[in-house]
Structure 1
Amino acid sequence: MRGPRRDAWDGQREHGHHGRRHGGGMRRMFDQGDLRLVVLALLGEQPRHGYELIKEIEQLSGGLYAPSPGVIYPLLTMLEEMGLAQQEPSEGAKKLFALTEQGNDELAAKRADAEHLLQRLAAAKERFSSGRAPQIVRAMENLKLALRLRMERGPLTEAQLQDVAAAIDAAAQAIERS
């Protein structure tokens, strides 16, 4: 575990790191149950596929956070099992989810909390993306995650080390030229 970090929501310090872009990197963006409430609020706006939920949350946070498919899809299954969401007919293999009447009631009962969470997302987006393009922040985090995941798989051969370094150098040079 690392030392204290600044919390993306309110500037408070917390220890460790939980969930960032697709499962690693930054500290926890939501407390227990908060993501469930955000998903309920988004489904309350319109039926959505899991991938649409991931992208919408990423957009709302300015690219700071996108829940992983390994978080969103089990959450949708749980909401379905709880009777709060149901699958709607849709084209293709993607599952489209909408709130049930019980889900709408749950959302109505917690509307103030849901609005507060959406406002926190917007504030985090504003605070952390001021002057920074979300696409670049996302790409930087993706690179860091890819490197970390590759390093965790074990040592690189000399050829692999050279390839990775060359790819990063090429990207740096391309960025400098733009």
Structure 2
Amino acid sequence: MSPVFSHGDLRLYLLNLLDEGPRHGYDIMQALSDRTGGTYTPSAGTIYPRLAKLEEEGLVTKSVDGRKTVYAITEAGHAEVEARSGELEGIEAGLADSVRLIADEVRGSVREAMKSLRADLAAASAEARTQAKQGPQTDDPRVFAREQLQRADASVNEFRARVRSDLRTHVARGGELTAAFVDDLTADLDRIAKDVTRILRG
């Protein structure tokens, strides 16, 4: 994935955040994570040196409020934000694209997991039919059936774990889960369940 911020864009975006109002360091980092849908979570080692540079340039001031250092934009900083408003619009558009991209990646990952599960189930069903024609490999067909059931359980559990991991990672990064996406996911899972029933009744 390409960087969320191109060269120089982060500097301008920091000024833009501070133009909205004074913020302390952690608040700035959280705002960046939230507004990029979790695609960019900066470290203190990235943000504080840039804030220090902005302070040296006279674009930002800092003050101590209890145990927190609060940063505020100066008139010169505000003037730069105003002068570069067109660039900021481009940056905002890029951030929106990043949020859409990560949502698309989650949807793609879920679809791939579903395809994999369908393929595994179809292969298991075909193998079971072949084994049934050839006769059981064990003395007791119930033992064979239990072995295949364990394989199917493992496939379903792996699918569930992959989807849960993708969804939880997406939300942890600040991404959104729309009602439409969850509805589509529920419908897809329902189709898989019907496919399983159809294959088993084959």
TM-score normalised according to structure 1 size: 0.57
Alpha-carbon distance in 2 for matches of 1:126, 1:39: 22
Shift of 1:135: 5.4
Is the aligned partner of 1:129 residue 2:116?
no
Q: TM-score, normalised by structure 2?
A: 0.51
Kindly provide the amino acid, as one letter, of the partner of residue 169 in structure 2. Answer: I
Structure 1 CA distance for aligned equivalents of residues 80 and 9 of structure 2? 13
In the TM superposition, residue 127 of structure 1 has moved relative to its aligned partner by: 2.4
Does residue 53 of the first structure (1) align with residue 28 of the second (2)? yes
Pair 1:94 & 2:127 matched = no
Say whether residues 1:67 and 2:42 are aligned partners.
yes
Cα 1:135–1:110 change in 2 (3 A) is: farther
1:77 Cα deviation from its structure 2 partner = 0.5
Q: How many residues align?
A: 114
- The structure with higher relative contact order (CA 8 Å, sep 6+) is 2
1:102 is paired with a residue whose SS is: helix
Shift of 1:34: 0.7
Asked which structure has the greater CA Rg, the reply is 2
Question: Following TM superposition, by how much is the alpha carbon of 1:119 offset from its aligned partner in structure 2, in angstroms?
Answer: 2.0
User: Structure 2 vs 1, CA of residues 111 and 88 (structure 1 numbering), >3 Å: closer, same or farther?
Assistant: farther
Structure 2 residue runs of 5 or longer lacking an equivalent are: 107-165, 174-202
Cα distance in 1 for residues equivalent to 2:168 and 2:19? 27
* 2:80 maps to 1:106: yes
- Residue 89 (structure 1) shift: 4.9
**What's the offset of the Cα at 1:107?**
0.7
User: Which residue of structure 2 aligns with residue 25 of structure 1?
Assistant: none
Over aligned residues, Cα RMSD in angstroms?
A: 2.3
Q: Please name the residue that 2:5 is paired with.
A: 30
Q: Sequence identity of aligned pairs in percent?
A: 37
d(CA) in 1 for partners of 2:85, 2:31: 19
Aligned residue type for 2:18: L
8 Å CA contact 1:88–1:95 kept in 2: the answer is: yes
Larger helix fraction of residues: 2
Runs of 4+ in 1 over 2 A off after TM superposition: 129-135, 137-140
**Distance (whole Å) between structure 1 residues aligned to residue 22 and residue 89 of structure 2:** 18
What SS does the corresponding residue of 2:62 show, helix, strand or coil? strand
